[in-house]
Amino acid sequence: MANGTGVVHGFPHLDTARAAITALYRRLTSDGVLAYAASVAPADVAFSDLDDLHLGTQRVARALVRQLGLPDARIMVSFQEMEDAASVELTAGPEYFIELNDRFRRYRRDIGAALAHEITHVLLHRLGLSFPGTRANEILTDTATTYLGAGWLLLDAYREDRDSSQKLGYLTPEEFGYVLAKRAAVFGEDPRIWFTSPQGYEAYTRGAARALRDERQPPLTTAGRVGRHRYARERRYALEHPGAPGDPAAPYAFEALRDGPRVAFECPTCHQRIRVPVRGRVRARCGLCRTVLECDT
């Protein structure tokens, strides 16, 4: 897990984060994802300066192991001088061997965030789920940590002012907010009450606004007037010119098939590609996450 230096903002890794959400649903199934309906509670991962360093670290690590549905087994956490924030040994056995940067001896409030990312590495390893390339795999880990209920800690560890900054993980603060908002929409949570970092709260707000746009894209009936007008214009062109390429920037694509035209778009929940007939009002169910979508095609 990398330390944050020179914090990047915006949504440069959004495609990879969306692919990670899809991969989680494919590997765990919809029922498996629903098993993570409750996020880890702030009280379970709170760390006071009065807590014993090693006993407190063990307590927080066990809470995160439970949150991520891993077996209760021996957890070995050590503090080392190292460049990264933390690392974990990926083994087939039930034990957990984690190294944390020595600076966490002084900044104990962020130990939970570092542990959450590393323990998710263990979960993904045991699930056999990975992306090619280090950066993509780390983004998968950040996304999984957040979507499975432990990643709000990573966003809460983000702090930035004129003189200094800290961010853990590979997603930008806004991307953490985006994934957290996607989770909140599925499980009906309001993670805003958990933030102690004002900058983390603001990043969540920006990410949540971006996540809301996914739910307001044509052909969904929740799309805005401008989007609906654009969709109607492109649908008319597609019907008049079957097989002609559409706008590559559009969040949907029309397909001319033997049984009639269809429109393809991403499920706003899991980002699996969905195809529905072009015939007006249609109710579709995503085959991956089972979300029911009201469409006007």
Whether the per-residue pLDDT at 1 is higher than 70: the answer is: no
Whether the per-residue pLDDT at 260 is higher than 90: the answer is: no
Nearest CA among 38, 204, 177, 44 for reference residue 115: 44
Whether the per-residue pLDDT at 88 is higher than 60: the answer is: yes
Pairwise pLDDT comparison (86 vs 131), residue with the higher score: 131
Phi, psi of 58 (to 5 degrees): -60, -40
User: What is the average per-residue pLDDT within 198-225?
Assistant: 96
First to last CA, the chain: 44
Read off the DSSP letter of residue 265. E
Helix (H, G, I), strand (E, B) or coil at 275: strand
Pairwise pLDDT comparison (92 vs 175), residue with the higher score: 175
Nearest CA among 203, 209, 208 for reference residue 166: 203
- Assign 2 a pLDDT band (cuts: 50, 70, 90): low
